[in-house]
Structure formats: structure tokens, C-alpha cells
């Protein structure tokens, strides 16, 4: 009989899906690495399992402990699934721009949820970075995950996502396109793919209000680049250690409006019911089309599921209020 011992055994080995209608203006073969097939419906399941297993190995996470993390929602879900199987508690700290669906889903799998204001500096005591660190200091027998700087984040994608992409394309992948948030996915995949073929190009998708693109091009951390934005799951107002800029060939920025509109288009034109960062990734890839030749194989990674955005990008009333559709 073929079955997993528990839900963690279903993490990874996600399918690769050819894109069609939305990429007609790109001559290359475009393949989507479809991460919503993970049990928590996002790519974050991979690193959640790796980070917890490594913390157990190093003794940072002890039996019956409490896992504490600042998250946009998906990492929290992945941590919760692992914690359920392994017997830990999870406390998740989110910013108030995250969708209500994400908060409800985290509570549904047993997480304690704190919500913090978005429009504050990272070192403000009210920020979700500061609140996470404070809760970890105050909670006995707790472990602060810190996915932004935790090397196990990159490690998960070097061990699993990168090899899967290489094998599924029979080593023919020429470009990898991914949104960048904590940096673990793009940096881990980049490390593996460039080890196999240094000529593979790695493209990061950034958002307006984030520092990544400017920093990559100038190595200047420009605070004038930072302002509130709507797009979820990508961009940062800090420089996580997991964003390994030397392994990324370039960035392109996508507006909040384009990210939202293209998220809707993915569902209606490709049958791909995906999260907000997928819309940004597709629009960003189209902005990069002059870099792709007919013989190329472009892999784009889709991080999470559309069910977490039903009240936002898939709600036309919300889209009209934001000025994204007529």
C-alpha cells in the first residue's frame, strides 16, 4: 500500500505545469512550479519542516515547547502542521495588512495569533518583528524561528525545491523566476541550480515600497524606497540574511494594482487559483520577456493558494475600492 505516515510525508514533490494563454507573448516554454500542492497549500511547508527539524537537532526546540514566529501567514501554517504532528504550540505574529483568511486559517489549526500595525519601522516595539522577538523572550521553553535569518530556510530549498526543478526539466531549465520575501526560496533554489549550471539566470520579483531591487543594483540600503504596499508575501523593509544577492541576477518591480489584476487573470485564464504573489510573479516575468529566447525553459514558482485572498484580490468590491478595476 502507498501512503504517508502522517501529513508531513506529503510535503514536496509538487508538480510542474505548462503555462499557456497568459504567456503567449513569451516564445520560451514557461513552466510553473506549483507549490499549492503542499499540504499547507504553500511553498513554506518545506522550510517550516526543515527549520523545526534542525532546531530539534541543535537543541533549540525542546519537547512541549512553544514555536514563535512573525509571518505573513504561510510560514505560520507550515509551522502549525509540523507542530501538530510533533506536539508543539505555535504563536504567530502578523501585520494588519494580511488577509483575514490567513488569520482565520492559522487559528483553525490551533495557532495563537497576534496582529501588529504594518505602518511602523521594523525596530518599533509594535512591529511584528519586535513583537515576535519580545514574545520569545517572555515565553518559557520557547523557540523564535526568525525565518528571515534562519539558514535552514535556504537549506530546505537547496535540498528539495532546486533538485525537483532540475529533475522535472531534465536539466534544461535556463531561467528561474520567483517573488522574494524572506529570500529562502530564491536563494536556496539559486544555489542548487547554479551549482548544476552556472549559466542559469535567477530573477527576483520585488514590489514598490521594498528595498530589494535598489539594494541589488547599488548595494545601498535606501530608506526612501520604503513605504506601505498592499502586495502580500514579497518585498521587505529589511535585508534578511536569506536573501543572497550574489546568487540573483536581477530584480524587477511590480505595482500593487498589477499584482492584484494578474492574480485574478491567473484564475480566469489559466485555471490557476493562486495567491497575490503569483500575480506579481507573472507580471514581473512578462516585464522580463526580452531576456527569454525561444529555446529557453523558464520556470516560475507559485507560492500559495487563492483561498487566502478571497476577501481581497478575488473580491471585486475590494478591487474597486482599491481602484484596481473599474
282-285: which pairs have CB atoms within 8 A and are 24 or more residues apart? 282/22, 282/23, 283/254, 283/258, 283/259, 284/177, 284/179, 284/203, 284/205, 284/252, 284/253, 284/254, 285/23, 285/26, 285/30, 285/177, 285/203, 285/205
Please give the sequence-ordered ranges of beta strands (E in DSSP) within 122-168, or none if there are none. Answer: 142-144
Count of residues in the chain: 326
In eight-state DSSP terms, residue 267 is: I
pTM to 2 decimal places: 0.95
Structural domains of the chain in order of their starting residue, each with its CATH number: 7-37+161-321 (3.40.50.1100), 44-144 (3.40.50.1100)
251 φ/ψ angles, rounded to the nearest 5 degrees: -125, 155
In order, the DSSP letters of 195-219 are HH-TT-EEEEEEETT-SHHHHHHH-
Determine whether 210 is exposed, middle or buried from the number of CB atoms within 10 Å of its CB (0-12, 13-18, 19+).
buried
CA 74 from chain centre, in angstroms, equals 8
Which tens digits make up the pLDDT trace of 313-326? Answer: 999 999 999 999 98
Residue 156: φ, ψ to 5° = -60, -40
- pLDDT at position 73, please? 85
Q: Please identify every residue annotated as catalytic.
A: 44
Cell of 241: 540574511
When pLDDT is cut at 50, 70 and 90, the band that residue 116 belongs to is very high
Average pLDDT for the chain? 96
Tens-digit pLDDT profile for residues 214-253: 999 999 999 999 999 999 999 999 999 999 999 999 999 9
pLDDT at 247: 98
Cβ count near 308 (within 10 Å): 29
Per-residue cell: 253:
518591480
3-state secondary structure of 189: helix
> How is residue 73 annotated by DSSP?
S
CA dihedral 112, 116, 121, 125 (to 10 degrees): -70
CB of 276 within 8 A of CB of 263?
Answer: yes
Amino acid at each position: 500500500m502507498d501512503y504517508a505516515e502522517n501529513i508531513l510525508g506529503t510535503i514536496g514533490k509538487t508538480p510542474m505545469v505548462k503555462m499557456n494563454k497568459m504567456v503567449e507573448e513569451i516564445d520560451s516554454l514557461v513552466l510553473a512550479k506549483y507549490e499549492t500542492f503542499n499540504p499547507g497549500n504553500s511553498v513554506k511547508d518545506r522550510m517550516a519542516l526543515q527549520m523545526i527539524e534542525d532546531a530539534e537537532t541543535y537543541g533549540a526546540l525542546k519537547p512541549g515547547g512553544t514555536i514563535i514566529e512573525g509571518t505573513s501567514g504561510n510560514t505560520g501554517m507550515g509551522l502549525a502542521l509540523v507542530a501538530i504532528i510533533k506536539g508543539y504550540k505555535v504563536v504567530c505574529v502578523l501585520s494588519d495588512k494580511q488577509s483575514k483568511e490567513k488569520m482565520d486559517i492559522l487559528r483553525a489549526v490551533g495557532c495563537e495569533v497576534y496582529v501588529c500595525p504594518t505602518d511602523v519601522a521594523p525596530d518599533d516595539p509594535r512591529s511584528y518583528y519586535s513583537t515576535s522577538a519580545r514574545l520569545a523572550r517572555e515565553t518559557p521553553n520557547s523557540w523564535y524561528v526568525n525565518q528571515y535569518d534562519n539558514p535552514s530556510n535556504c537549506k530546505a530549498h537547496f535540498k528539495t525545491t532546486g533538485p525537483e526543478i532540475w529533475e522535472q526539466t531534465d536539466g534544461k531549465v535556463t531561467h528561474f523566476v520567483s517573488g522574494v520575501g524572506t529570500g529562502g526560496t530564491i536563494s536556496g533554489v539559486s544555489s542548487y541550480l547554479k551549482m548544476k549550471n552556472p549559466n542559469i539566470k535567477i530573477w527576483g520579483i520585488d514590489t514598490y515600497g521594498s528595498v530589494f531591487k535598489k539594494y541589488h543594483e547599488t548595494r545601498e540600503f535606501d530608506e526612501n524606497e520604503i513605504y506601505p504596499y498592499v502586495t502580500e508575501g514579497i518585498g521587505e523593509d529589511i535585508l534578511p540574511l536569506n536573501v543572497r544577492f550574489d546568487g540573483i541576477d536581477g530584480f524587477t518591480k511590480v505595482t500593487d494594482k498589477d499584482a492584484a489584476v494578474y492574480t485574478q487573470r491567473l484564475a480566469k485564464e489559466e485555471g490557476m487559483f493562486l495567491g497575490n504573489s503569483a500575480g506579481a510573479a507573472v507580471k514581473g516575468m512578462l516585464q522580463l520577456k526580452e531576456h527569454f529566447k525561444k529555446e529557453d525553459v523558464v520556470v516560475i514558482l507559485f507560492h500559495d493558494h487563492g483561498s487566502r485572498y478571497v476577501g481581497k484580490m478575488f473580491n471585486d468590491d475590494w478591487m474597486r475600492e482599491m481602484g484596481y478595476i473599474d
